[in-house]
Amino acid sequence: MPQPLDFATLQPVIVLSVWTCVLLLLDVFLIKRKSITAVLTAFGLALTLGLTFMQVGASNDGFSGMVVQDGFSTFINALQLVGGLLGVAVAHAYIKRTGSERGEYYTLLLFSVIGMMLMAQSNDLIMVFIALELLSIPLYVLAAFTRNTESEEAGIKYFLLGAFSTGFVVYGIALVYGATASTNLHEIVAFASSSSPSLLLTIGAALILVGFAFKVAVVPFHMWTPDVYQGAPTAVTAFMSSGAKVAGFAALLRVFSVAFPNISMDMAPVLAAISALTMIVGNIVAVSQTNIKRMLAYSSIAHAGYILMAFVPYGDAQVSADAIASGLFYLVAYMLTNFGAWAVVIALETKSGSGLELSDYSGLAKKYPAIAAAMTIFMLSLIGFPPTLGMVGKFYLFRAALQGGYTTLALIGVITSLVSAFYYLRVIVNMYMREGDPTPARDLWLDLTWSITAIATVVVSLAPQFLFVLASTAVMLK
């Protein structure tokens, strides 16, 4: 019999779910102008964000240990809700422009956000699985939302690969259950610590890792990413390249740090290798891209590698807290910067879907200095250049890697950053140093998105203290 406390742990998720169901019906029965749906979606997200902030400091588990609410989940949930708000803001003008304005966009987005939040709160592998499905299925639909060939191809590809990766997760969960007779994270670790090392457990954990590796798109499980990111409506790409990645990492962090610290000796080299490979492949392949969506897709792969770096020393009790905090910090930096960059891409995309080549950015700075300056900030942040959040984030990440003794990994990280500078600079070169005549679409929501994220990217990097505090208190996994 659940107690009121159980509901308290999930309060924001429950409120948002109810709101989403109501909105779904309101949208089909009452609302004619879809802008109203957008506003109501944003309102629901903001309300939930407020409720999430009220949870700060609390720490409970609920529903017989199926879910947990702690600093970590609150941090991730707040981040996901901000991502949801940004996702609504960039979508509003975009789906109107591309003639695919339907209210379902917003409800699907909300369902996905609910899945992402649950993901961070799951304390049981079964919950992880349900949350994973809840966040993924709306994204499959969203990827195919504009219903042109590319978009549908992206949707199908994402769906097939998504289903495939979910299979890995489920199989991994089954093996872990076979090895430990439980799906609860705490019971798994309790069992694993009291018994002899089990190969079955390691294989199960590895399969779960593979499943999530697909979700967060790290090499060699990244092949779907460029096609899906390129084909999906740009607003959806912006949302899923941030939200799904954050959710995937959140689940990985929780599952591995709570349930699998015993097998960290086996896992750390694998994680280190994947991280290094991802940074190298993502950045090097991005160099040869001429389409901005594809380039940013590879860039997001590369960034998954950086974030994964924070995660490598997860079993080392001395540095794991710091490392995870650095990962969280970087997720925030990545989320803000990435959304900003995609907002600019959306502004430049034309109605017919052109305006996505790098050469289409030529001459932007002359006519629209503000957008160009914002894009410059995002590119510098993605390189990891001061004065941006990306630089502080990388500083933190590399320190964590060095503390964990992974000097080579940190070295690969900085060298691939250098490679990445090459292709990010190309955007800046086009905007400032070549002639051209682009006409970005102006929309209040979109303008606000890129201007606020740009300002935040710079200002937070100069006063990052509060974010450091948040990130380092958020790692107290219950």
Q: For binding to other proteins (CB under 8 A), which residues are involved?
A: 1-2, 21, 24-25, 28-29, 322, 325, 365-366, 369, 380, 385-387, 391, 395, 398-399, 402-403, 407, 410-411, 414-415, 417-418, 421-422, 425, 429, 432-434, 464-465, 468-469, 471-472
Q: Fill in the amino acid letter for 393.
A: G
**Which 8-state DSSP code applies to residue 60?**
E
Instruction: Quote the least distance from Cβ 414 to other proteins, whole Å.
Output: 4
Q: Which is nearer to other proteins, 200 or 270 (CB)?
A: 200
138 cis-preceded (ω within 30 degrees of 0): no
Instruction: Quote the least distance from Cβ 12 to other proteins, whole Å.
Output: 17
Q: Which residues contact 244 (CB under 8 A, 6 or more apart)?
A: 116, 135, 136, 139, 215, 216
Tell me whether residue 371 is exposed, middle or buried, using C-beta atoms within 10 angstroms of its C-beta: 0 to 12, 13 to 18, 19 or more: buried
Q: Which is nearer to other proteins, 167 or 387 (CB)?
A: 387
Cα gap 321→152, rounded to integer Å: 42
Instruction: Quote the least distance from Cβ 16 to other proteins, whole Å.
Output: 14
b/e sequence 276-307, b meaning 16+ C-beta within 10 Å: bbbbbbbbbbbeebeebbbbbbbbbbbbbbbb
Residue 357: how many CB atoms within 10 A of its CB?
15
Instruction: Quote the least distance from Cβ 167 to other proteins, whole Å.
Output: 19
Q: Which is nearer to other proteins, 182 or 473 (CB)?
A: 473
Residue 62: what are its φ and ψ, rounded to 5°?
Answer: -140, 170
Q: Which is nearer to other proteins, 21 or 265 (CB)?
A: 21
Q: Which is nearer to other proteins, 256 or 385 (CB)?
A: 385
Instruction: Quote the least distance from Cβ 198 to other proteins, whole Å.
Output: 16
Q: Which is nearer to other proteins, 238 or 341 (CB)?
A: 341
Instruction: Quote the least distance from Cβ 112 to other proteins, whole Å.
Output: 17
Cα gap 476→188, rounded to integer Å: 19
Instruction: Quote the least distance from Cβ 101 to other proteins, whole Å.
Output: 16
Helices and strands (DSSP H and E) totals, the chain: 20, 2
Q: Which residues contact 64 (CB under 8 A, 6 or more apart)?
A: none
Instruction: Quote the least distance from Cβ 396 to other proteins, whole Å.
Output: 8
b/e sequence 424-453, b meaning 16+ C-beta within 10 Å: bebbbebbbeeeeebebbebebbbebbbbb
Cα gap 344→370, rounded to integer Å: 11
b/e sequence 221-242, b meaning 16+ C-beta within 10 Å: bbebbbbbbbbbbbbbbbbbbb
Task: Take residue 435 and report the two structure tokens written for it.
Answer: 């002639």
Q: Which is nearer to other proteins, 8 or 402 (CB)?
A: 402
Q: Fill in the amino acid letter for 273.
A: A
Q: Which is nearer to other proteins, 322 or 360 (CB)?
A: 322
Q: Which is nearer to other proteins, 352 or 465 (CB)?
A: 465
Closest CA to 250 of 242, 13, 153: 242
Instruction: Quote the least distance from Cβ 349 to other proteins, whole Å.
Output: 25
The label of the residue with tokens 């991502």 reads 83
